[in-house]
Amino acid sequence: MSARRHVLLASTALATGIATLLSSPSPALAQQEPPTGRQTIDRLVYPPLKFEQPQTDHYEVFGVPVISLEDPTLPMVTVHAYFRGGYGLFGRESYAAAMGLPALLRYGGTTSRSALEVDEAIEYHAFHVSFGSAGGSVTTSINALTENLPTALDLWGELIAEPAFDGNEVEAWRTRELESILRRLDDPGRLAFSEMNRLLYGDHPVGWEMEPSDLDPARLQTDRLNELHRRILCRGNLTLGVTGDAPWPVLQPLLESVVSRLPDCAQALPEAPTPNIRRTAGVYLVEKDLDQSVVVMAHPTTVQLGDDDTYYAAMIGNSILGGGGFSSRILGRLRTEEGFAYSATSLWTTPRKHEGIIAATTRTRPENTMAAIDVILKTMHGLRDGPPTTDEVGATVDQIVNGFVFNFDSPSQIVSRTMYYLAQDLPVDWLVRYWEGVQRVTPYGIQRVFSDQLHPEEMTILIVGDPSRIGESLYGRGPVTTIEVR
């Protein structure tokens, strides 16, 4: 027999032996089969996450705080401005002017350029300019290529400090607002929230909705706009933030040129009015022929934004109740178990200095309206009567902790968040405190805060829908007050 023949026989015997061994493993090997599928995922081990708050540089320009984060990734720079002061700090007679101020700063021209010239300059240099407002602030930003930054800040400084409030632009804004009032009835969701705000907050800025009387031309005259501009857009109310491809020695003189255009604040801003939120339970109806009723319910709570275990427990608890999407209880009960609604959510607002509200909302077929309300209220009672499961708390905390990094996708986002926290008088290391605080939350801590703060029987309940289709069940929770929408 040739040597080659011996090698082939030996190879065949070896292969046969291995195949036999694999097809008939020993008992020891059979007990140690490698994990597959879900077992493999469950056995993965990761080091514990540790969050480090992104560090920003802090400067001052003529007494104005500046938060900076240099980022040479792209040859672009973004500058943010946050002015304390908004429509919520002034009387109803100034409501329309204060609401319109940001848009009119952007589109009303300057003392040296017409509105058209401003638009042409922005388009030519591909600047991105934004203006916005809230009840207590006016914000604006500009983004530009680094090489165009001096030109950008020159224009931006004009828009902020030297507005013309062109009469044609003021009238165009007023006309759009009047049209928006007429369209309010066409959006059931908007209508429900605006009427609920009226019910809860009454004659408070949170409860205001624009009315034709607010838009009387006499309330939008140039002198009133100029007065609000002087009260809000002044140095003492300003915080600046900068991100992008520009070091501080380059930025400083450019920011000085912007700030130098602004006057010192002649007088302090008014104190924000404290709301007196409705605490009386009741059912209210806005009659509207709809295929789906809109339901909103709410009552006040005393939990405030701050480094406090009650605040963290409220946030995690609200996510479990209804704020956490498909994993939350309210959506699970209404959608998965009962088939009453496609979407439902809860909300827990935590202002810094006054009461907030805990609320829930959904849309459902008129015939299911009251049954859906009962399900929501029963679900709320569930978190008062017993703690959530450890798995519910763990999954919610993990979702926040693991996703925390996505709050800081860009340097601009980091700076704008830091500016907001600074304006709210929160600690400099607030983000670290929040990250650690939510991880301290326990099931019994959530039950305590819900037992203390959530009272389903005290809910103000508003329904926008067709009473003829809702049926007699509408009156099952007591008298119903019909709201005539103006």
Residues 69-118 have pLDDT tens digits of 999 999 999 999 999 999 999 999 999 999 999 999 999 999 999 999 99
Average pLDDT over residues 155-161: 98
Give the whole-number percent of the chain exceeding pLDDT 90: 78
**Number of residues in the chain:** 486
Q: Determine contact, residues 69/243, Cβ cutoff 8 Å.
A: yes
Banded model confidence at residue 35, pLDDT cuts 50, 70, 90? low
Average pLDDT over residues 406-418: 80
Q: Determine contact, residues 278/116, Cβ cutoff 8 Å.
A: no
β partners of residue 58:
67
Question: First vs last Cα of the chain: how many Å apart?
Answer: 108
Q: pTM of the full predicted structure?
A: 0.84
Average pLDDT over residues 165-179: 97
Banded model confidence at residue 34, pLDDT cuts 50, 70, 90? low
Average pLDDT over residues 431-456: 95
364 burial class (0-12, 13-18, 19+ CB within 10 angstroms)? Answer: buried
Measured between alpha carbons, how far is 155 from 207 in angstroms, rounded to an integer? 36
Measured between alpha carbons, how far is 277 from 271 in angstroms, rounded to an integer? 18
Residue 309: HSE in the Cβ half-sphere, 13 Å Cα cutoff? 11
What is the bridge-based pairing of β-strands 137-145 and 64-70? unpaired
| Helix-helix angle 95-107:222-232, to 10 degrees | 90
Q: Which tokens sit at 68? A: 């900076």
- Coil, strand or helix at 39: helix
Whether the predicted pLDDT of 1 surpasses 80: no
211 burial class (0-12, 13-18, 19+ CB within 10 angstroms)? Answer: middle
The whole-number pLDDT of residue 372 equals 98
Closest CA to 435 of 447, 427, 443: 427
The whole-number pLDDT of residue 6 equals 36
The number of angstroms, rounded, from the C-alpha of 23 to the middle of its chain's C-alpha atoms is 59
What is the bridge-based pairing of β-strands 282-287 and 64-70? unpaired
Alpha helix ranges (H) inside 33-144: 38-42, 95-107, 115-125
Banded model confidence at residue 350, pLDDT cuts 50, 70, 90? very high
Banded model confidence at residue 19, pLDDT cuts 50, 70, 90? very low
Whether the predicted pLDDT of 158 surpasses 90: yes
Mean pLDDT of the chain: 90
Average pLDDT over residues 290-294: 97
Q: Determine contact, residues 127/159, Cβ cutoff 8 Å.
A: no
What are 417-436's pLDDT values in tens digits?
888 888 888 887 888 899 89
The whole-number pLDDT of residue 260 equals 97
Average pLDDT over residues 130-138: 94
Closest CA to 398 of 117, 46, 10, 122: 46
The whole-number pLDDT of residue 20 equals 38
Residues ≥6 apart with Cβ < 8 Å to 419:
67, 80, 82, 239, 241
Q: Which amino acid is at 472?
A: E
β partners of residue 465:
287
Q: Which residue has the higher pLDDT, 66 or 15?
A: 66
- Coil, strand or helix at 350: coil
What are 198-232's pLDDT values in tens digits?
999 999 999 999 999 999 999 999 999 999 999 99
What are 238-280's pLDDT values in tens digits?
999 999 999 999 999 999 999 999 999 999 999 999 999 999 9
Q: Which residues of 191-201 are buried (b: 16+ CB within 10 A; e: fewer)?
A: bbbbbbbbbbb
Q: Which residue has the tokens 């929160």?
A: 426
The whole-number pLDDT of residue 13 equals 36
Alpha helix ranges (H) inside 233-288: 248-259
Closest CA to 171 of 115, 111, 252: 115
Residue 142: HSE in the Cβ half-sphere, 13 Å Cα cutoff? 26
What are 363-380's pLDDT values in tens digits?
999 999 999 999 999 999
Measured between alpha carbons, how far is 284 from 362 in angstroms, rounded to an integer? 15
Whether the predicted pLDDT of 39 surpasses 80: no
For residue 107, count other CB atoms closer than 10 A to its CB.
Answer: 19
The number of angstroms, rounded, from the C-alpha of 251 to the middle of its chain's C-alpha atoms is 30
The whole-number pLDDT of residue 175 equals 97
Average pLDDT over residues 318-328: 94
Q: Where are the beta strands (DSSP E) in 329-410?
A: 344-348, 356-364
- List of domains in the chain: 57-259 (3.30.830.10), 282-482 (3.30.830.10)
The number of angstroms, rounded, from the C-alpha of 477 to the middle of its chain's C-alpha atoms is 33
Measured between alpha carbons, how far is 236 from 423 in angstroms, rounded to an integer? 12
Banded model confidence at residue 21, pLDDT cuts 50, 70, 90? very low
- Which DSSP helix (H) or strand (E) runs through 396? helix 390-402
Whether the predicted pLDDT of 3 surpasses 80: no
β partners of residue 356:
301
